[in-house]
Amino acid sequence: MRIKKSDSSALAKTIATQETHINSLKKSLSEQEDSFKKLQELIIQEQQALNSLLKGKLLRDFYEDKESLKEIKSLQTKIHDLAHERRLLVDGNPCPLCGSLDHPYAQGNIPQKDDIDIAIEELTSFITSIEAKQDNIEELNDKEKTEQLRLGEDKEKERTALYSLEQLNNQYKEVNKAIKELKEDYDSKKRCTTEQV
């Protein structure tokens, strides 16, 4: 009978330990779920910010714009570099390069090189910020996948712990039932012995 009571005590302690472990797992899962939801919200916010910056365009469109601006700059540089040749142009006489009689650049109408440089720098900076946002979103998506895997693993641990607790509770009930039966049997035999004496 002592063995059974000690078995019952040991099981009760194991059950208490298991319940503490399960409560800890539940708290951890709750925190992970909260963290996971915040991560998902952050991904959505970052994606919305990126979409707002892109304004319906694709990043490659901005690259094309940048290349177009570089081409314009190159052409303007060539025009600017032809300044010496422009000084030799005479209004009304044909241009030795193109044959035109009108020479607007000879009259000081050279486009401002600085405007194009500023536009290229702004576009380059914008493209860099878009790429950084895209990289950040990619990192957040990777983190989300990792969190999701860990959350699944922890949920499986919780299910295993709950199953183990259920098994321990069943054992505990069986041990207590056996103790009760032994005690009843003992009490019954004790009464019979007392009545015989």
Tell me the per-residue pLDDT of 46-101, one tens digit each, with 9 for 90 and over: 999 999 989 999 989 999 999 999 998 888 887 777 766 766 666 677 776 777 77
Q: Is 99 left (phi over 0), alpha (psi -120 to 50) or beta?
A: left
Provide the pLDDT confidence category of residue 130 given band limits of 50, 70 and 90. very high
Q: For the residues 112-130, what does the mean pLDDT come to?
A: 84
Q: How far is CA 92 from CA 37, 95, 100, in A?
A: 74, 9, 9
CB atoms within 10 A of CB 39: 17
CA–CA gap between residue 88 and residue 94 (Å, rounded): 11
Provide the pLDDT confidence category of residue 117 given band limits of 50, 70 and 90. confident
Q: How high is the pLDDT of residue 83?
A: 67
150 by Cβ neighbours in 10 Å (0-12 / 13-18 / 19+) ranks as: middle
CA–CA gap between residue 108 and residue 190 (Å, rounded): 126
Write the single-letter amino acid at 132: A
Q: How high is the pLDDT of residue 107?
A: 59
Q: For the residues 10-14, what does the mean pLDDT come to?
A: 85
Whether the CB-CB separation of 172 and 12 falls below 8 Å is answered with yes
Provide the pLDDT confidence category of residue 179 given band limits of 50, 70 and 90. confident
Q: Higher pLDDT residue, 163 or 81?
A: 163
- Write down the mean pLDDT value for the chain: 84
Tokens of residue 191, six digits: 């009464």
Q: How far is CA 115 from CA 48, 67, 124, in A?
A: 31, 15, 14
CA–CA gap between residue 62 and residue 54 (Å, rounded): 9
Q: Domain total for the chain?
A: 1
Look up the CATH number of the domain holding residue 41: 1.10.287
Q: How high is the pLDDT of residue 189?
A: 83
For 103, which DSSP code? -
- In the predicted structure, residue 111 carries a pLDDT above the cut 50: no
Q: How high is the pLDDT of residue 4?
A: 58
CA–CA gap between residue 50 and residue 133 (Å, rounded): 7
Range of the domain at 64: 2-196
Among 39, 50, 42, CA closest to 146: 39
CA–CA gap between residue 3 and residue 179 (Å, rounded): 10
Provide the pLDDT confidence category of residue 146 given band limits of 50, 70 and 90. very high
